[in-house]
Amino acid sequence: MLSKAIETALNNQIKIEAESSQIYLAMACWAEVKGLEGVASFMYAQSDEEREHMLKLVKFVNERGGHAKISELSAPNVTFTSFKEMFEKLFEHEVFVSQSINDLVHISLEERDYASHNFLQWYVAEQIEEEAVARTILDKINLIGDDKGGLYLFDRDIENLTVTS
């Protein structure tokens, strides 16, 4: 059985994961209309994964005697000044999500909720991977700079970087 404090915190995370899915869907659309198919499919895949993260939490909350709340979401950014800016935003967002997961882990310990603590370890590991992928992409973008040929190759290769979960 979930305590009120952990249920509220998990519901907050459900909203964050849903918003992450929307944020990356908006990035996918921007990349697609700019003609970068590889980047777009990477972002569509990221968006799908965030929905999976959300659903995993929804089911956990409901199975543990809580009630998962599906709430209104903040609208994501839909335009970016450059691909670099878009991937910087993705990285910053993943760092924010990691912080939120850390806070949740902290609450689960305060509440002595070891089932939730155990469940959350999957998210801790996932965030390490997602931050690492985002960092690798940013390094590549910095290497490319303004080189159009480099951007073409980057767009072709990024699909191999999709995070698996």
Contact residue for ligand OFO among 53, 60, 66, 141 (CB under 6 A): 53
Tell me the C-alpha distance between 104 and 111, whole Å.
10
Which conformational region is residue 145 in: left (phi greater than 0), alpha (psi within -120 to 50 degrees), or beta? Answer: left
Contact residue for ligand OFO among 6, 10, 17, 18 (CB under 6 A): 17
**Phi, psi torsion values for 78, nearest 5 degrees:** -110, -10
Contact residue for ligand OFO among 7, 19, 113, 130 (CB under 6 A): 130
Interaction between residue 19 and ligand OFO (CB under 6 A): no
Interaction between residue 94 and ligand OFO (CB under 6 A): yes
CB closer to ligand OFO out of 15 and 150: 15
CB closer to ligand OFO out of 30 and 46: 46
* Footprint (CB under 6 A) of ligand OFO, residues 134-153: none
Interaction between residue 20 and ligand OFO (CB under 6 A): yes
**Residue recorded with tokens 């059985």:** 1
Tell me the C-alpha distance between 58 and 119, whole Å.
12
* Integer CA distances (angstroms), 16 to 12, 34, 88, 104, 115, in order: 6, 27, 18, 12, 21
CB closer to ligand OFO out of 126 and 155: 126
Tell me the C-alpha distance between 126 and 163, whole Å.
9
Shortest distance in whole angstroms from residue 5 CB to ligand OFO: 20
Give residues in contact with ligand OFO (CB under 6 A): 17, 20, 50, 53, 94, 97, 123, 126, 130
